[in-house]
Amino acid sequence: MTGPVSSNTGRFQGSGMTSDRTRARMVEALRQKGVKNERVLNVMAEVPRHVFVEEALQERAYEVDKALPIGHGQTISTPEIVAIMTELLCEKGMPKKVLEIGTGCGYQTAVLGKLAKDVYTVERIAPLMDKARRTLRDLRYFNIIFKHADGHFGYPDGGPYDGILMTAAAGYVPDELKQQLAPGGRMVLPVGKDGGTQKLYVIDRTEAGYSEKIVHDVRFVPLVPGVV
């Protein structure tokens, strides 16, 4: 490429001046795939996904179906699955208080952070959580509370939650998470064996108990017990 070398080479410039347009194209592709919620699409048009991945991968950050590595054997969820899960979580109105299990690089956290008043996020791998915390602080998010813990047990101190979203696949629906859901609240999570068929579950807490539906086949990294 010819032309002057830009001095804007920091991670917040990353893909440079084209980011807005690239994000608009990503949003268009998400619409084509059936995502309809305008607030979710607007937020995804704003959040700079490229700053959540390492520089060498930034130019692929807006491909809707690409899960990219974020280190420690983990991946950033694809824009498509982030959109689908967020849309499901917000289907009955925007949740005020959300719990996310599996912070990873923090991209899904950032999307939730623009939709909800408060986001509590739990991650078992300390270096991933610390990096996500730095990225979100640099992007000036002040409504996110981080917790280094095993998400199987949720984050009882912050609960109950209007929405719970899990970004790693559990072998079963953890009871502790169901209990931390407020009446009227909704939980969206992948359930199934690593490498096997996983299903996306939507669980609503009603006055009488819980209702459950299965909406999609999905593929996530496993929810792993313990912390590192």
Using CB under 6 A as the criterion, which residues of the chain lie in contact with ligand SAH when the complex forms?
Answer: 70, 74-77, 101-102, 104-105, 107-108, 122-125, 128, 150-152, 167-168, 221, 223-225
Beta carbon nearer to ligand SAH, 61 or 181: 61
What's the min distance (Å) between Cβ of 98 and ligand SAH?
13
36, 62, 99, 143, 167 from 214: Cα distances, Å: 19, 27, 20, 30, 16
Amino acid at site 111: V
Shortest Å distance, C-beta 85 to ligand SAH: 9
Closest separation in Å from C-beta 62 to ligand SAH: 14
Complex with ligand SAH: residue 123 or 162, whichever CB lies closer = 123
Q: What is the 3-state secondary structure (H, E, C) of 142-206?
A: CCEEEEECCHHHCCHHHCCEEEEEECCEECCCCHHHHHCEEEEEEEEEEEECCCCCEEEEEEEEC
Nearer to ligand SAH, 150 or 184 (CB): 150
* CB nearer to ligand SAH: pick between 72 and 92: 72
Find the shortest distance in angstroms from Cβ 9 to ligand SAH: 24
* CA 185/CA 209 separation, integer angstroms: 11
> So which residues are the catalytic ones?
77
Whether the CB-CB separation of 55 and 11 falls below 8 Å is answered with yes
